Every structure is written in C-alpha cells, then in structure tokens.
Structure 1
C-alpha cells in the first residue's frame, strides 16, 4: 500500500497512534486502497463479507429493505469510520444482513477478512477498536428502532426536516428520499409535508424544501 503511510492512517484512525510498529507495518502490508464511485452498491443482503473497509473519505449508507420494498436507514459510515455489521459478519462468519451503497465517492482502506480475524485474536488494539465500533453503532441502531417503534411519524419528519438546513435555506431532497431515511411510505411523507406547508413551516417545490420556520418545526417534533 505504497500510496498511504502509517502517519496517514494515524490521522484517520486514532487507535493506531499507540499501536506497535509491527501492527502498523502489517496493516500497510496487507491492506489495499480502493476508490469507489458514488451510487455503487457495495453490499447486498446475504453477501459474504470478505473485507473490512476503513473509510478515508466519502459516505456509505447502510439500510434495510422490507417485504413491501420500503427502506429504512440504519446508519451511515463516513470519514474515519468503519462498518460494524461488516466487522460482526467477518468475526462470526455470517452473512451481511443489510444493504450498503455509496452516497458520494469513497476512498477506503480494505482489510481482508482472514487478516482481520487474526489481528483481533492477536492484538488488543484491534480488539478494542472492534468493541468500541460495536458499542457506538449499537446505540445508533437502538435509537433508530425506538424512533420507528415508539415515536409518531409526523414528529420524526418534523425533526428530520428541521435538521436539514437553516431557516430560509433550500434543501434538495425528494419525498421518497425522506421516506427511505425514516422507514415510512412516500405517500405518508407527502401528506405530512403538505400539512407543514399549510402551517407555513416549510415551502415545497419539486425535489426541494425550504425551511421557513425552523423553531416551530423543532417545537412540533418535541410536542407530538
């Protein structure tokens, strides 16, 4: 991996800063850099996980698809992060339980599955990294489940839209994309957004939303 140095890796992944030189040397020897274009499907449900990606730049969306075809975002993997589902599948040698797609061009360091399993067994620094990854992502996924199961859809949409941008800023996003994010139907999103527009909280146009009253949207999210 001649185009990346140990110092470069330490800038992105702080857990390597205190690692032994031998660990850094092995990472540089076994890993490879991969450039992936935006919109690429990189994992399908049921895939065998053959590599763990440490993301250097870009963003990956990890999501589930229901029998009806409805999607819900589980989490995103962004710069200096990695995928807990991939790590879990590699260590347990099970199939990938979701889908993953790049939302922007991604540059990542890829570690072969067999090498990762060996490193987790041999090196405490790698065990600590994987366990920390699990704890952080588990909290995110639990929060998503709680949102879907226990919170009203209109409150979730109000909060999501309010956090898209500042007041009077236009955001390029479709009703279907919001539905994918929140795990609901496009028709439900459209109906609720129309209600918000009638209340002068937002202004709708094709493929975009203008936030007109962000404090009121956040208050609606809190009260509903």
Structure 2
C-alpha cells in the first residue's frame, strides 16, 4: 500500500494547515521514506545534512561520543516524534555534533533540509515547530547531563531500569550490559558490578541479554531517595 504523506503530515505536524497548498505539495515532493536496521547509523557528524527525521515506525537514539569511543545517550525518538538535530546545517544555533542510530528496525519520514530551510524562512509556523522541537530535546539533554553530573551511579542505574519498566510496561527488559553502559555514559564493567549488587539484594534477576525486575518498589526507592 502506497504511503499517504498528506494524511500522515496532517495528523503529525501542527503547522500543516498553516501552510499553503503549493507549500504542502512541495513539502511532500521533498519528503521520502527511509528504512534502517537496528544498530544502523542514521546520522553522524561526518555525514551530510540529512534533513528533519520523523519516526513512522521504530525508535532512534541520539548520543554523543568521546574521542576514545565512550558514548552518552542524550535522548530517544519514538514513533510519531521528530528529530531536528540532523538539520544542523540550517540551524546556526546547533554547534555540537551528535550521532543518531536506529535502536530498532525503523522507517523514517525524511524531509529534505534545503527545502526546510526555504519553507521555514517563508512560514513562521514551520519555523516555530522546528525551534520548539529543538528546545524540547535540549531539555532532555540537560536532564541527561544532570543525571551524569549530580547522581551516584546506583541512582542513575535504578532510575534507568525503573523508567524502562514504565516505558515498556514490562518487568523483563531485553537489554545487554553494554547497551545500558551506552545509555548511561559509563563502562560495561561498572554496569555489570552494580547489576550484580542489585541481584544480590534481590532487586533483579540477570540473564544473558536480559534484566528481570523482581522488586520494582525497591528500584524506585533507590532512584528517588535523596
């Protein structure tokens, strides 16, 4: 079945009814679907200015990486959400480099960056949408930085586990120690050591590629206690 860009944009973008019919037609002409496998890079600092990414299916992870390869996850982009950081070439205010990868098999709706540049200059509603999306994501970035700078690792790990249980509505999390380390900007060995402590205390059960939360209240208490 052919993808209906008109219907999708109408229910996804609040600015859609604020642009002209000719702008809508050109917007659709400058948009396309792109598929990515789990773990595949969608954007990196050395790549071209891709465009605005909206997740139709799947999920993206936005992260930064140090020179020695250490990663810190800034935030995730879920279905129906938009990522504007791959449009840094049209936003002078974005002065740092990010990586974007697919954390699941994903289908993205991509809108060409050069067209976005033109239409955002002509239409304040499109411009406001882009800046609003960027501002909201920077709030997530600041939250991530606060976690890293001001919380002990046991609290950060407990907070991550509890948030994942709430987000997925599952007590069994399919995730590796290495993936958790990338999320939290830590070393795999540190994650493994703390998870083993949680297991010893009866909070979790560890299996290969899986963390089973058996005492959600205890995990929550560690995450929120001062």
Q: Check whether TM > 0.5.
A: yes
* Structure 2, unaligned runs of 5 or more: none
For residues 107 and 17 of structure 1, the distance between their equivalents in structure 2, rounded to whole angstroms, comes to 24
For residues 22 and 67 of structure 2, the distance between their equivalents in structure 1, rounded to whole angstroms, comes to 47
Deviation at 1:96, TM superposition (A): 6.9
Answer yes or no: is the 8 Å Cα contact 2:49–2:88 preserved in 1.
no
Matching of residue 162 in structure 1 with residue 180 in structure 2: no
Alignment of 1:129-168 (within 5 A): 129-165=129-165
Alignment of 1:169-188 (within 5 A): 169-188=171-190
Match of 1:219 in 2: 221
Partner deviation per Cα, 1:137-170 (whole Å, 9 max, x = no partner): 1101011111111111110101112233379932
Deviation at 1:24, TM superposition (A): 1.5
SS across alignment from 1:161: helix
Deviation at 1:196, TM superposition (A): 1.0
Answer yes or no: is the 8 Å Cα contact 1:201–1:212 preserved in 2.
yes
Deviation at 1:88, TM superposition (A): 3.0
Match of 1:210 in 2: 212
Matching of residue 52 in structure 1 with residue 52 in structure 2: yes
Deviation at 1:33, TM superposition (A): 2.2
Deviation at 1:122, TM superposition (A): 0.6
> How many matched pairs?
223
Deviation at 1:94, TM superposition (A): 7.6
Match of 1:115 in 2: 115
For residues 89 and 80 of structure 1, the distance between their equivalents in structure 2, rounded to whole angstroms, comes to 23
For residues 201 and 50 of structure 1, the distance between their equivalents in structure 2, rounded to whole angstroms, comes to 43
For residues 194 and 3 of structure 2, the distance between their equivalents in structure 1, rounded to whole angstroms, comes to 49
SS across alignment from 1:144: helix
For the structure 1 residues 127 and 168, does the alpha-carbon distance in structure 2 shift closer, same or farther, using more than 3 Å as the test? closer
Partner deviation per Cα, 1:2-22 (whole Å, 9 max, x = no partner): 732422221222331443323
Answer yes or no: is the 8 Å Cα contact 2:51–2:84 preserved in 1.
no
SS across alignment from 1:64: strand
- TM-score under structure 1 normalisation? 0.89
For residues 190 and 52 of structure 1, the distance between their equivalents in structure 2, rounded to whole angstroms, comes to 37
- TM-score under structure 2 normalisation? 0.88
SS across alignment from 2:111: strand
Aligned-pair Cα RMSD in Å: 2.3
Alignment of 1:20-99 (within 5 A): 20-92=20-92, 97-99=97-99
For residues 125 and 33 of structure 2, the distance between their equivalents in structure 1, rounded to whole angstroms, comes to 21
SS across alignment from 2:67: coil
For residues 119 and 18 of structure 2, the distance between their equivalents in structure 1, rounded to whole angstroms, comes to 16
